[in-house]
Chains A and B, each alone.
Chain A
Amino acid sequence: GDSVTQMEGPVTLSEEAFLTINCTYTATGYPSLFWYVQYPGEGLQLLLKATKADDKGSNKGFEATYRKETTSFHLEKGSVQVSDSAVYFCALNKGYQKVTFGTGTKLQVIP
Chain B
Amino acid sequence: NAGVTQTPKFQVLKTGQSMTLQCAQDMNHEYMSWYRQDPGMGLRLIHYSVGAGITDQGEVPNGYNVSRSTTEDFPLRLLSAAPSQTSVYFCASREGNGNQPQHFGDGTRLSIL
A residues adjacent to B (C-beta < 8 A): 31-32, 34, 36, 42-46, 49, 51, 89, 91, 93-99, 101-104
CB distance from B76 to the nearest CB of A (A): 15
Count how many pairs of residues, one from A and one from B, have CB atoms less than 8 Å apart in the complex: 64
Judge if B106 is at the interface, Cβ distance under 8 Å.
yes
Q: For A98, what are the chain B residues with a Cβ–Cβ distance below 8 Å?
A: 33, 45, 48, 56, 58
Residues of A within 8 A of B100 (CB): 32, 93
Chain A residue contacts of B43, Cβ below 8 A: 44, 89, 101, 104
**Contact residues, B1-60 vs A (CB, 8 A):** 30-31, 33, 41-43, 45, 48, 50, 56, 58
Given contacts A43-B104, A43-B107, A44-B90, A95 and B98 within 8 Å (CB-CB): yes
B window 59-97: CB within 8 A of A: 90, 92, 94, 96-97
Whether B96 lies near A103 (C-beta < 8 A) is no
Closest Cβ of chain B: how far from A72's Cβ, in Å?
A: 19
Contact residues in A for B56 (Cβ distance below 8 Å): 98
Cα distance A96–B96 in the bound complex, in angstroms: 5
Partner of B104, one of A31, A45, A95, A103: A45
What are 23 of the A-B contact pairs (CB < 8 Å)?
A: A32-B98, A34-B102, A36-B102, A36-B104, A43-B90, A43-B105, A43-B106, A44-B90, A44-B92, A49-B99, A89-B43, A91-B102, A93-B94, A94-B98, A95-B96, A95-B98, A96-B96, A98-B48, A98-B56, A99-B94, A102-B42, A103-B42, A104-B43
